[in-house]
Amino acid sequence: MIYHNSPKTHLNNNLGRLSTSATIAIQQLCRQLQQEGKTIYRLGLGQSPFPVPAPVVRALQENAHQKDYLAVKGLEELRRTLAASHCASYGIGCDIEDVIIGPGSKELMFILQLVYDGEILIPIPAWVSYAPQARIIGRHVNNIVTEKKDRWKVTAEQIDSICRLDPGRSRMLILNYPSNPTGQTYDANELEELAEVVSKYQVLVLSDEIYARMTFSGKHTSIIDYYPEGTIFSGGLSKWCGAGGWRLGLFIVPEAMRWITNAMATVASETFTSTSAPIQYAAIAAFEENPEIDIYVDRCRRILGALAGDITRRLAKTDIDVIPAQGGFYIFPDFGNYRLRLEKRHIFTSAELCDELLHETGVAILPGSDFGRPVTELTARLAFVDFDGEKALRDYPGDDGLDQSYLATCCTNTLTGIERIIEWLGALDE
């Protein structure tokens, strides 16, 4: 029956071409296939395999009774702890009024794009949600296509070539390092060159450093060192602390741009109100000085670094072109050398390649096109996280014992998935 007086169905035009986030969609698909009894190697969603550190879990248990709405910008004690922690770690000098807490950095990024009226510059490949968020809000997105020869990193020359065409335009550059999806990061010289250009054109920089503590070398440099007056630092608990589902993110905004913090707080007051109280109290334990947590972080990044190196060595024996990762838990292989062989199987795009891999091998990875790359470019993101992180930490053999035997025992699913890919590609010649 049709009710003629019912409201007209009309979708916001900005949502017309959007679908569920690719990383969420692949996770849902993997669950469905596993429920159907299929063996799936889950290298799609970038979720930390490691457990939340014990001191942080205990802090959550002890604060489960916290039930009050907290300040919109966040619990004052947590913000004070964050200001001190980030000053010690990255040299960020800030007041607690420059720190804002949200239910995940993803939500804070969305609100930032809402309150900041300007063009959004996104180096490609990029995390799957930056551009859709901008489109939902109606912001103009300028994708900066990076090149493999530059290790998929944006250059100062590329930014300058855009900004000099209209130097007075308001712009925000989203910079993510170590990168999701490439695993690459910027060194001090590269950041200094970028800072010189963005400072020249007064470009606001959203520096997404959520993987900072997962830099394999243990040394991370922030663009804040070179452009503190125009950089917003974005971090959280999800990656280094294994607490993605806890949903706690943070921004540190320059004092001169406190109007942004205040505007974001206004929007937050009308949307999520405040971040979960028990989670905020528990997060204090995550960011306070604690040798136990330092050891946890060090071991996590060492395991990931060793695993990334082993995967790269395995892939290097094939025709897959891959740049060694420097941090996080991603590599961004290029299957272009297999193009002719894949075309014989009627595979012409990265999406078709990933669909076929999932169907024939059970290995779930995401196509480069989901990260903004051209659809016919045969790149993909591989998240090497399908292993029992708790076991890997429990059996940690010492810094000198992270060999192939340890990885084969503790990271079995991930390495099996890699071998399935290699075997499948090898069979293309048959």
Q: Phi/psi at 234 (nearest 5 deg)?
A: -120, 130
- Which pLDDT belongs to residue 430? 59
Same structural domain for residues 113 and 149?
A: yes
User: Would residue 4 count as lying in a domain?
Assistant: no
Closest CA to 236 of 78, 126, 92, 388: 78
Same structural domain for residues 335 and 389?
A: yes
Same structural domain for residues 302 and 402?
A: yes
Task: Give the span between the Cα atoms of 258 and 118, in whole angstroms.
Answer: 17
- Which pLDDT belongs to residue 10? 56
User: Would residue 133 count as lying in a domain?
Assistant: yes
Task: Give the span between the Cα atoms of 262 and 99, in whole angstroms.
Answer: 10
- Which pLDDT belongs to residue 8? 52
Task: Give the span between the Cα atoms of 204 and 201, in whole angstroms.
Answer: 9
Closest CA to 131 of 369, 342, 340, 311: 369
User: Would residue 424 count as lying in a domain?
Assistant: yes
Q: Is the pLDDT of residue 25 over 80?
A: no
- Which pLDDT belongs to residue 86? 84
Compute how many other C-beta atoms are within 10 angstroms of the C-beta atom of residue 109: 23
Sign of CA dihedral 351, 368, 333, 400: negative
Same structural domain for residues 60 and 201?
A: yes
Residue 429 token pair: 């010649």
> Final residue of a domain: which of 240, 272, 289?
289
pLDDT tens for 97-107 read: 999 999 999 99
Give the pLDDT band (50/70/90) at residue 7: low
- Which pLDDT belongs to residue 94? 81
Give every CB contact of residue 60 below 8 A, 6+ residues apart in sequence.
Answer: 278, 279, 281, 282
CATH code (residue 310): 3.90.1150.10
| Containing structural domain, residue 310 | 13-51+292-429
Mean pLDDT across 322-332:
97
Same structural domain for residues 276 and 192?
A: yes
Same structural domain for residues 284 and 381?
A: no
> Final residue of a domain: which of 289, 317, 351?
289
Same structural domain for residues 224 and 296?
A: no
> Final residue of a domain: which of 289, 314, 345?
289
pLDDT tens for 382-426 read: 999 999 999 999 999 998 899 999 999 999 999 999 999 999 999
CB 261 within 8 A of CB 116: no
Same structural domain for residues 156 and 277?
A: yes
Same structural domain for residues 422 and 327?
A: yes
More confidently predicted of 9 and 399: 399
CB 184 within 8 A of CB 212: no
Same structural domain for residues 330 and 195?
A: no
Give the pLDDT band (50/70/90) at residue 1: very low
User: Would residue 8 count as lying in a domain?
Assistant: no
Q: Phi/psi at 279 (nearest 5 deg)?
A: -65, -40
Same structural domain for residues 306 and 260?
A: no
pLDDT tens for 27-85 read: 677 677 667 778 889 998 889 999 999 999 999 999 999 999 999 999 999 999 999 98
Mean pLDDT across 191-210:
98
User: Would residue 253 count as lying in a domain?
Assistant: yes
User: Would residue 7 count as lying in a domain?
Assistant: no
CB 252 within 8 A of CB 92: yes
User: Would residue 1 count as lying in a domain?
Assistant: no
- Which pLDDT belongs to residue 45? 81
Summary mean pLDDT of the chain:
92
Coil, helix or strand at residue 192: helix
Name the E strands within 299-392.
330-331, 363-364, 366-367, 380-383
CB 104 within 8 A of CB 110: no
Chain-centroid distance of CA 30 in Å reads 20
User: Would residue 70 count as lying in a domain?
Assistant: yes
Mean pLDDT across 318-332:
96
Same structural domain for residues 210 and 134?
A: yes
CATH code (residue 191): 3.40.640.10
Strand partners, 90: none
Q: How many domains in the chain?
A: 2
pLDDT tens for 85-124 read: 888 777 777 889 999 999 999 999 999 999 999 999 999 9
